[in-house]
Structure 1
Amino acid sequence: MSSQNVFLYDTTLRDGTQGEGVSLSVDDKLKIAKKLDELGLHYIEGGWPGSNPKDMNFFKKVKDLELKNAKVTAFGSTRRMGVTADQDQNLQRILESGVRSVAIFGKTWDFQVTHALQTTLEENLDMIYDSVKFLKENGLEVIFDAEHFFDGYKRNADYAIQAIKKAEAAGADCVALCDTNGGSLPHEVMEIVQHVVQELSIQVGIHCHNDGEVAVANTIAAVQAGATHVQGTINGYGERCGNVNLISVIPNLQLKMGYSCIEPHQLVNLTSVSKYVHEIANQIPPSNQPFVGKSAFAHKGGMHVSAVLKHPETYEHIEPEAIGNKRRVLVSELSGQSNVLFKAKEWNLDLDKNNPATKQIIEQIKELELNGYQYEAAEASFELVVKKGLGEHLEFFKLDHFKIFIENNADQSFTTEAVVKLVVNDQEVLTAAEGNGPVNALDHALRKALEQFYPCINKMYLSDYKVRVLDETDATASRVRVLIESSDGTEKWSTIGVSGNIIKASWYALVDSVHYFLLKQEDQLEVVHQPKTESTIGVSNH
């Protein structure tokens, strides 16, 4: 175990945005920068001021954030061929950005020099030296990103070492060794970094890409070999297969290896920062993302759950709370008694292993899952199953029938109308409503029927709707699984329905969603309004 400091350099706002589907506005970048600073990262690379006006605008606005932990860093390249450093526009833009720290990249692979830059090996060394020296003379901290270093070292080690020594001679504060193509392996990285650490007297860093899916392993190997500066992105965003994921690197180094990256009180924000960046970047968080994913500490198998409840370390490599995540127990056909007991405890339900209802509930769940139900993503429906099994579920309404009418108009537009007849408190109510489709119309009609009895129903709404065909070989006769996510503006919950009829499956999920909401509002439900007539009907367009 080591107590050595590791300095974290985040390039989400620059390298991360080179990932497919990732685009950040200036305001987005400012919001993320604030979060990264709060997390305790040491460097935030804001962009390349010489490449576009948006990045220069970011550097102007970030000065107003008053960051407490991080240095805002600009990115750039060595000077162009045939000009002096002070004449190079990219280097001048770096100075204009007002940063006090900069990372510039230069070629360290002879093949790249001769075939990509199409210049001489000696000229490339001069470009590195001149650029670093110019920036140092202007008072900047300079990090030299040794591009393609590992590929270059493996093919011409002498030249790769010459290149980084030129940066050192010019006054660079740190040399970050880049696995630009992401093809190196941990044993190679460790051996090469060990050699570089012996060759240089300045700080050595590591910058890995994930094309071989070993970027985290490569980064850890580099730190073990003596690198003390780690470059990466939040959630592993980046070009092609992405950059190394700092969200995984940080807890591995700090919790398992004893390196000091950020403060313990900052580490507990790791999960929330990961989700925040996903949200701002409009990316769907992978449920199986290590450490911070929704499934990272989710347990499904009955034997696993039983063991975890006794001793969490039996199936958890760290305490989820240490990085702001939490343990979850899933319920499925693989569930045992422990799964149901755990979930019941979460909901403050009086259920124990000696209760005969426990076995009945488990058997019912397994039967339902055999027919296509899946409660892992529909915990609200599962809670209703348990409460019904315990006799604690209140039935707020019963369906008498519903009808759906779809009219194809002369102008090729479609009109969808749903008619719903319910029994609420022994009273019949008949309503109709239009929608942009059958499920939407059903939703409107159901809530219209209930609002006179339960006015709070207007607080809830459908926030997501998903359909999955369970057996595609049955073509149009296939059973479908419908998942509905609902919200009251504060909380979200998911429910499920399964049937060979998509409307029927949607109805099941919809009814569960409404029942779950009313159940949560039970203590605050207003006195049921008695309608003047037993049957009311009207059409709502909502």
Structure 2
Amino acid sequence: MSKALTIFDTTLRDGTQGEGISLSAEDKLKIAKKLDQLGVHYIEGGIPGSNSKDIEFFDRVKDLRLNAKITAFGSTRRKNSLAEHDANLQRLIDSGAQATSLVGKSWDFHVHTALQTTLEENLAMIYDSIAYLKQHGLEVMFDAEHFFDGYKNNPEYAVAVMRKAEEAGADWLVMCDTNGGTMPHEVSDIVAALGGQIAGTARLGIHTHNDCELAVANTLSAVRSGAEMIQGTMNGYGERCGNANLCSIIPNLQLKLGYQVLEEKQLEQLTNTARYVSEIANVHMPVNQPYVGTAAFAHKGGIHVSAILRDARTYEHIVPEIVGNHQRVLVSELAGQSNILSKAQKMGIEIDPEKESTREVIGRIKDLEHQGYQFEGADASLELMLREANGELKKLFTFESFKMLVEKSAGKPVVSEAFVKLNIDGNSIYTAAEGNGPVNALDNALRKALISYYPGLNDVHLSDYKVRVLDDKEATASKVRVLIESSNVENSWSTVGVSGNVIEASWEALVDSFLYALLGQDKREGYEEIQSVERGLVNH
């Protein structure tokens, strides 16, 4: 294993500059604890004193006693002033942070245009600010803003900036590709060149942005040329196109390039951490995100699945569990026998590949996918189909009818009421229930009809409901697909329904949800069989 590298996470500061991302102080504290468990070395919390959330964060984070060093972000002193009189620098000192990330100009164009000062005064601003923070016992990372653009425009001055920061006592010299426009070969050459022109008392770091979708590649290039600190964010959050994605950088460095980044047990927390941060930030995580996405190790084509069943290395570049992810076999119109066998095996269902019923269920799945069903995100509905094809299901109840009443009166809210009629063990059951909308009313009425026979349904709750229009050319007459996510105290599962009527599609997904809940309950109790439902509307 090569030398150890240092991970600097700026999700709580630079990451929050991304569009649609806003974190409360409580959110930041939760994420900080999760990042600390992952094993990152520095956590940049924000800008002390800039807003009430960051003030609260720095005040409360001390009580968490994290292993990671909490870092505060700020900029060099104002031009033509004294460091000891600079309110920004004083806030960094008063924050209680163990380290500071201090940004300064390294591109002569920015010095003249943005700061509107001389190159000499900019060097003095950098030196004075770093020296002042060091006098107060803080570790200092000097973030050289636009370093690569500055080096390409005026390499002598960009290097002079870094030398001045090192002379002032900076612990780290961080090269920033602030506009995200530098190519990997340029990064490699410039980092190597800088390494040969500084004294070596400070270590090099890299901070890249993803405007050319090269932030990860540029970071890897910088490390190979001598950078030892990697700055980035979870899931690549950040302004414009985002920052360098630590979820890709960390495993690439450790698993592909042989650097020591995290302990093995910590690396196994990567996927969980990425998804946790996504949930707290309330930002959808791309399914195809490398290493940590739900589709990162998902296989759909039958030839691929057939191969991975023999040896996963045929179509997987690492063992998914190393980063806390897992292999998934998708079932769709591309599915072959291998997909079905693999899914059945994971579900604990013994399916004979030679049986006609196995070939029939494959054909059935393909036909249903053509109609608009999607089982990739509805494993519970798929499992019910496989068990039915395997002869494991009996009738739980017989559907007879349901009716919906939606009434809107002037000046009053909409009232939704559902009426459901079932036959259970020869008994005709008729129930009615109101709800917050027609689907909720239908859910309540169906639950009411079943609950006395199957009290375990008391623990089942609908946690998400999605509707997708499958053919918008038909406007309001379009066929829709309904995906329902349900959960109980132990598990969560998803079911699907498709119809030209959103209520009918919802009913289908609801019935599957309840049936799957009872299937899981009977599994826990050790029964070999579970009764099923006759949907009565759409047979699938």
> TM-score band (shorter)?
over 0.9
- Pairing 1:288-327 to 2, within 5 Å after superposition: 288-327=288-327
Q: Return the match for 1:119 from 109, 117, 120.
A: 117
TM-score between the two structures when normalised by the length of structure 2 = 0.94
Matched residues in 2 for 1:411 and 1:7: separation?
62
What residue is the counterpart of 1:5 in the other structure? Answer: 4
The residue identity in structure 2 corresponding to 1:307 is: A
What residue is the counterpart of 2:154 in the other structure? Answer: 156
Structure 2 unaligned runs (5+)? 526-540
Deviates most, 252-261 or 8-17: 8-17
Secondary structure of the residue aligned to 2:376 is: helix
Please tell me whether the aligned partners of residues 176 and 204 of structure 1 are also in contact (alpha carbons under 8 angstroms): yes
% of aligned pairs identical?
Answer: 59
Matched residues in 2 for 1:409 and 1:104: separation?
62
What residue is the counterpart of 2:92 in the other structure? Answer: 94
The residue identity in structure 1 corresponding to 2:275 is: K
Residue 52 of structure 1 and its aligned partner are, at CA, apart by 2.8
Matched residues in 1 for 2:322 and 2:382: separation?
29
What residue is the counterpart of 2:529 in the other structure? Answer: none
Deviates most, 504-513 or 403-412: 403-412
What residue is the counterpart of 2:61 in the other structure? Answer: 62
Please tell me whether the aligned partners of residues 209 and 241 of structure 1 are also in contact (alpha carbons under 8 angstroms): yes
**Residue 134 (str. 1) matches residue 132 (str. 2):** yes
What residue is the counterpart of 1:196 in the other structure? Answer: 194
Distance 1:474 1:17, change over 3 A: same
- Pairing 1:25-424 to 2, within 5 Å after superposition: 25-68=24-67, 70-200=68-198, 201=200, 202-424=202-424
Residue 420 of structure 1 and its aligned partner are, at CA, apart by 0.8
Matched residues in 1 for 2:524 and 2:7: separation?
49
Please tell me whether the aligned partners of residues 140 and 170 of structure 2 are also in contact (alpha carbons under 8 angstroms): yes
Please tell me whether the aligned partners of residues 470 and 480 of structure 1 are also in contact (alpha carbons under 8 angstroms): yes
Deviates most, 331-340 or 155-164: 155-164
Secondary structure of the residue aligned to 1:349 is: coil
Residue 353 of structure 1 and its aligned partner are, at CA, apart by 1.9
Residue 524 of structure 1 and its aligned partner are, at CA, apart by 6.8
Secondary structure of the residue aligned to 1:325 is: coil
Residue 38 of structure 1 and its aligned partner are, at CA, apart by 1.6
Residue 131 of structure 1 and its aligned partner are, at CA, apart by 0.8
Instruction: String of CA shifts for 1:18-70, please: whole Å, max 9, x gaps.
Output: 112212222222222122122111111112114234323322222221223x1
Deviates most, 23-32 or 320-329: 23-32
Please tell me whether the aligned partners of residues 9 and 232 of structure 1 are also in contact (alpha carbons under 8 angstroms): yes
What residue is the counterpart of 1:531 in the other structure? Answer: none
What residue is the counterpart of 1:529 in the other structure? Answer: none
Residue 239 of structure 1 and its aligned partner are, at CA, apart by 1.2
Matched residues in 1 for 2:56 and 2:404: separation?
54
Please tell me whether the aligned partners of residues 278 and 284 of structure 2 are also in contact (alpha carbons under 8 angstroms): yes
Residue 282 of structure 1 and its aligned partner are, at CA, apart by 1.9
Residue 255 of structure 1 and its aligned partner are, at CA, apart by 0.4
RMSD over aligned Cα atoms: 1.5
Residue 521 of structure 1 and its aligned partner are, at CA, apart by 1.7
Matched residues in 1 for 2:70 and 2:332: separation?
48
Matched residues in 2 for 1:209 and 1:351: separation?
50
Please tell me whether the aligned partners of residues 50 and 89 of structure 1 are also in contact (alpha carbons under 8 angstroms): no
What residue is the counterpart of 1:532 in the other structure? Answer: none
What residue is the counterpart of 1:22 in the other structure? Answer: 21
Distance 1:370 1:100, change over 3 A: closer
Matched residues in 2 for 1:398 and 1:492: separation?
26
Instruction: String of CA shifts for 1:58-91, please: whole Å, max 9, x gaps.
Output: 22222221223x1111111110112111111111
Matched residues in 2 for 1:132 and 1:476: separation?
64
The residue identity in structure 2 corresponding to 1:246 is: L
Matched residues in 1 for 2:158 and 2:410: separation?
73
The residue identity in structure 1 corresponding to 2:194 is: V
Residue 435 of structure 1 and its aligned partner are, at CA, apart by 1.6
Residue 485 of structure 1 and its aligned partner are, at CA, apart by 1.1
Matched residues in 2 for 1:38 and 1:502: separation?
44
Matched residues in 1 for 2:323 and 2:523: separation?
35
What residue is the counterpart of 2:484 in the other structure? Answer: 484
Residue 384 of structure 1 and its aligned partner are, at CA, apart by 0.7
